[in-house]
Amino acid sequence: MVLSTIDRSGLSISILLSGLALSSGLLIPAMQPFQHVNFRSSASSTRGSPCGARMCGIIAIFDPNLGASELEELTRSLSTLLSHRGPDEVGYVGGPGYGLGHTRLSIMDPAAGRQPLTSDETGSSVIHNGEIYNFRDLRAEVHEARHATGAGDFAFKTGSDSEVCLPLFDSLGNDVASKLDGMFAVVLASEDGKRMLACRDPVGIKPLYRGWSADGRTMFASELKCLVGQVEHVEEFPPGHYWTPETGYVRFYSPEWMTPLLAEEATEEVPLELPMGDASRVRSILRSAVQKRLMSDVEYGLLLSGGLDSAIVCKLMAELTDMSKIKSFTVGMRNSPDIMAARAVAEVFGTDHHEHLFTAEEAFSILPQVIYHLETYEPELIRSSIPNFFLARLAGEHVKVVLTGEGADELFAGYLYFRDCPDRPSMQRETLRIFDHLHNVNLQRSDRMGMAHGIEARVPFLDVDMLAEAYGKLDPTIKMHVDGKMEKHALRALFDDGDIPQDVVWRTKAMQCEGVGTDWVSILQGKCEEVISDEEIARAAVDFPLNTPQSKEELYYRKLFEEHFSGMDKFVHVWEGGCRAGGAPWENNAYTRAGLKNTQQLVHGLMEDEAATP
């Protein structure tokens, strides 16, 4: 196997956005050079899509106090802050008291994906970030409904999935949100501005914020940075809801399984393995979810972490497509578990595999960029986002769409602290608790690090049918760690059929900041301590009375956050106890604020094969 090392000069976002950065008081960190390893050279190819690709950002301003020219100027100006989500063009449409802006990264067929889209019939307009997987079925429903009433065909102008929102909004009003299957943040407005609706997908895969002021201004944006200094109040738009001025927030996604507890006690003996019917159903649903996310003609890839979840996605992709055309991507430190495990999976399934090996020093150097794009000071999230930043940067050189294994740990209790879960009710409560925070933890990391480099991440484990199965049909007892069984035992057993390497199927769960290497976090924390003085940490409670930093590492992150988002600290989600496991209803013996207590449990046989790593 021949390996080649490639150097690339970084692109300075501060140059691209310098005009707005100065006017908004945002200092945007510059990208840094990096190296990566390419396992197999191959000519890149791009296949045209009738829908185009929607790696994009959206912003909407509803303000009765601004005129048309003022609305357009402000909307276009703030749209520039989202240019990393779509640097190729900025679209705008406005009406009485409102302006809709959209930034887009065009790959193929620019006309098809250009937004905002406006209905020729009614003048209603839409801006949309994400993918609506059932848009063809919805178009057919629109066709049938209109013919039944004698209205005739709706004049679709593009093949875009976004456009189907227009006839649905005009005919169904607020019910449009419940019809959409996908990952989406959508804002719709009637031509006269008297009707508007915003909605976000059930899980919160795509980001959306809402801001408002007492003078009547309401804003929506893909990222928090667009709202800095523009409104008095900001909140993250809750997943599975729509919002109108008349109704406020209304939950449109409310399955029965979202109740916090099934039953206090099992009424009968529950098997500790997946029953055959359940196993077949889980595999079928997950395979369909992967297939749904491959419905794109643009070239896509796979973020291959080296863990079980992305390996399962890889296996299912292999059943559905030619893997020799699939590029996979992994990051880690030299000889790290993720690097070795991902390499084994890539070899088995024949992907065009790419790696980036990073150092703790490199990780420290990109912290300003990570925090600017991530829009948080939460330490656990920042640590885990550093490998994601490198991963997205690597993938962004090759593809624009990637599949990931995000969400499986929430559905199947995959984190190490679940080993201490005492009973069935606690298991159900805790898996639902961390699922409820996916949108401002894992999915925030996945979206922001991906969009920082122009790639869209798709998450088959979080398909709504998979959610219904994992939370509504599988008994929580199946997820328990009893009789020495390891985390996600049922899921491991389901896919232990000889395809995925055994060392990967039964590899100990590692969070992303752990699996890429076991010592880089402590080195990173040491470097943070070098730049924060004892005097600074002593007065941290005075400088930051809300969510006061408890270490020099946390204080350094907070100071970087304040450089870009002064006054926005109250809008940041912080884990209770300083880590994901801190809010569990049992004593946590796995994690502290500083990370995993015992990294030695992550040592794996694959790490010993040093000779295989360049």
CB burial of 580-594 (b: ≥16 within 10 Å; e: otherwise) equals: bbbebeeebebbeeb
Say if residues 319 and 287 touch (Cβ distance below 8 Å).
yes
Residue spans of alpha helices (H) in 319-417? 337-349, 360-365, 367-374, 379-395, 408-412
Dihedral over alpha carbons 81, 128, 300, 330 (to 10 degrees):
50
Residue 303 annotated as binding?
A: yes
Burial bucket for residue 158 (CB in 10 Å: 0-12, 13-18, 19+): middle
The rounded distance, in Å, linking the Cα atoms of 601 and 249 is: 44
CA angle 412, 414, 417 (to 5 degrees): 125
Q: Which residue has the tokens 């997987």?
A: 133
Residue type, 530: E
209-212 and 241-244 beta bridge pairing: unpaired
- Pair of tokens at residue 291: 């297939």
Nearest C-alpha neighbor of 17 from the set 78, 59, 102, 106: 78
For 198, residues 6+ apart whose C-beta sits below 8 A from its C-beta are: 60, 185, 186, 187, 188, 208, 210, 220, 237, 242, 243, 244
Widest pairwise Cα distance in the chain? 75
Nearest C-alpha neighbor of 202 from the set 382, 380, 439: 439
Dihedral over alpha carbons 307, 313, 318, 320 (to 10 degrees):
180
513 is catalytic: no
The dihedral through the CA atoms of 498, 501, 507, 510 has a sign that is: negative
The rounded distance, in Å, linking the Cα atoms of 152 and 481 is: 58
What's CA 391's distance to the chain center, in Å?
13
Catalytic residue, candidates 56, 165, 226, 314: 56
For 114, residues 6+ apart whose C-beta sits below 8 A from its C-beta are: 89, 91, 104, 106
Annotated binding site for ATP: 303, 331
Annotated binding residues for L-glutamine, as ranges?
161
Give the catalytic positions in this structure. Answer: 56
Return binding residues. Answer: 161, 303, 331
